[in-house]
């Protein structure tokens, strides 16, 4: 699309068509940067990066947003202002109309796919569509959606300004179209840059989702209460959950007894205790039972973490500290 728009801009001498060509070039470079970010974000965690590389997706999206501002917005506005200061004539615009029509069809298709992806992600995150655009965890799909929206708006601006400039013989309208496209791209890029900067700064997960996770833990039979609950959003759909947990010692012990002494096992153990000959034997038995109860507590912590990750898959790292 960049080559076609550039060719049409050269044939027609249209500033707004040239701005659209720059728009397509910015989109192309942007998608290349987003692809790099996606690939790097999928790298496995290592010793230096124990929580993985998912934040790189947002970092590369930030670089992309800055590029859109300078290449798409800045150059388009500069070219439009130059056209106002140095008036030009509009040549044959037929090729430009065909290129804009084809570009509109292409952008409409990609916009539809981006819209569906964000709708699914918003539903999974229990957010509205507009809320996900502002602070959803996946910067890639949001950026592509907003680029497609700006592309369609840019095509409409270019076609309108080119038509008016051609048929009213007022070439300055074409330059105004270029300036408007530049302002549109600058506005989108500013929104994306601010959004990605906010995502790179560690922040808590959505409050409703956090309350849902806390409710799961508090409803577990072995948990009495939670304290000092903290969550951190790490990149796209990755959450670190940390909480101090006061466990119900009686319930943990009952579960240990049920698992360690099924059927008549408890009676047999009672007979064994009755046969102890001295205090030292009883002391050793208590030490053994105490160690087994602690081991059971550790197993319960592991069970809770696994169940939590199954019900809230975005929680990749769960740290439960025993009070």
SS3 88: coil
Top-ranked range on mean pLDDT: pick from 8-12, 76-80, 293-297: 293-297
Residues 48 and 16 in one domain: yes
Chosen domain end from 170, 200, 230:
200
pLDDT digit string, tens, across residues 113-134: 888 888 888 887 777 888 888 8
Residues 165 and 310 in one domain: no
Residues 184 and 214 in one domain: no
Quick one: pLDDT band at residue 236, thresholds 50, 70, 90? low
| Residue with token string 């080119």 | 162
Residues 152 and 179 in one domain: yes
Residues 127 and 61 in one domain: yes
| Domain limits for position 33 | 2-200
SS3 136: coil
Residues 179 and 315 in one domain: no
- Does the pLDDT of residue 149 top 80, yes or no? yes
- Does the pLDDT of residue 32 top 80, yes or no? yes
Mean pLDDT of the chain: 82
Burial (Cβ within 10 Å: 0-12, 13-18, ≥19) of residue 80 = buried
Query: For position 235, what pLDDT does the model report?
Result: 61
pLDDT digit string, tens, across residues 269-309: 888 888 888 888 888 888 988 898 999 999 999 999 999 98
Percent of the chain with pLDDT over 90: 11
Give the distance, in angstroms, between the CA of residue 32 and the centroid of all CA atoms in the same chain. Answer: 18
Structure-token pair, residue 190:
């500013």
- Structural domain total, the chain: 2
How far apart CA 126 and CA 270 sit, in angstroms, is 53
Handedness of CA 52, 54, 58, 63 (dihedral sign): positive
How far apart CA 312 and CA 310 sit, in angstroms, is 6
Q: What is the DSSP letter of 278?
A: S
- In this structure, of 50-54, 180-184, 237-241, the range with the lowest mean pLDDT score is 50-54
Query: For position 34, what pLDDT does the model report?
Result: 77
Query: For position 44, what pLDDT does the model report?
Result: 77
How far apart CA 67 and CA 73 sit, in angstroms, is 9
How far apart CA 180 and CA 80 sit, in angstroms, is 9
Other C-beta atoms lying within 10 Å of the C-beta of residue 311: 11
Q: Which residues of 142-178 are buried (b: 16+ CB within 10 A; e: fewer)?
A: bbbbbbbbbbbbbbebbbebbbbbbeeeebebbbbbb
How far apart CA 193 and CA 74 sit, in angstroms, is 15
């Amino acid at each position: 699309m960049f080559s076609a728009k550039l060719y049409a801009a050269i044939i027609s001498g249209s500033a707004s068509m040239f701005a659209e060509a720059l728009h397509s070039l910015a989109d192309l470079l942007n998608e290349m940067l987003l692809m790099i970010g996606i690939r790097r974000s999928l790298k496995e965690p290592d010793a230096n990066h124990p929580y993985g590389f998912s934040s790189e997706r947002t970092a590369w999206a930030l670089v992309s947003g800055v590029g859109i501002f300078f290449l798409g917005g800045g150059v388009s506005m500069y070219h439009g202002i130059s056209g106002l200061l140095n008036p030009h004539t509009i040549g044959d615009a037929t090729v430009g109309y065909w290129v804009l029509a084809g570009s509109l069809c292409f952008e409409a298709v990609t916009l539809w796919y981006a819209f569906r992806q964000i709708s699914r992600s918003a539903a999974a995150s229990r957010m509205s569509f507009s809320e996900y655009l502002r602070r959803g965890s996946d910067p890639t799909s949001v950026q592509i959606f907003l680029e497609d929206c700006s592309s369609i708006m840019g095509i409409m601006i270019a076609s309108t300004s080119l038509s008016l400039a051609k048929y009213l013989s007022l070439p300055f309208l074409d330059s105004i179209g270029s300036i408007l496209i530049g302002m549109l791209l600058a506005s989108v890029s500013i929104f994306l840059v601010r959004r990605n900067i906010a995502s790179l700064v560690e922040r808590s997960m959505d409050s409703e989702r956090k309350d849902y996770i806390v409710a799961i833990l508090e409803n577990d039979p072995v948990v009495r209460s939670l304290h000092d609950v903290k969550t951190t959003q790490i990149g796209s759909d990755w959450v670190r959950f940390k909480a101090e947990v006061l466990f119900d010692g009686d319930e943990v012990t009952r579960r240990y007894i049920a698992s360690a002494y099924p059927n008549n096992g408890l009676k047999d153990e009672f007979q064994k205790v009755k046969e102890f000959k001295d205090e030292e034997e009883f002391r050793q038995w208590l030490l053994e039972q105490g160690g087994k109860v602690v081991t059971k507590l550790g197993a319960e912590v592991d069970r809770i973490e696994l169940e939590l990750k199954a019900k809230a898959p975005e929680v990749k790292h769960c740290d439960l500290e025993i009070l």
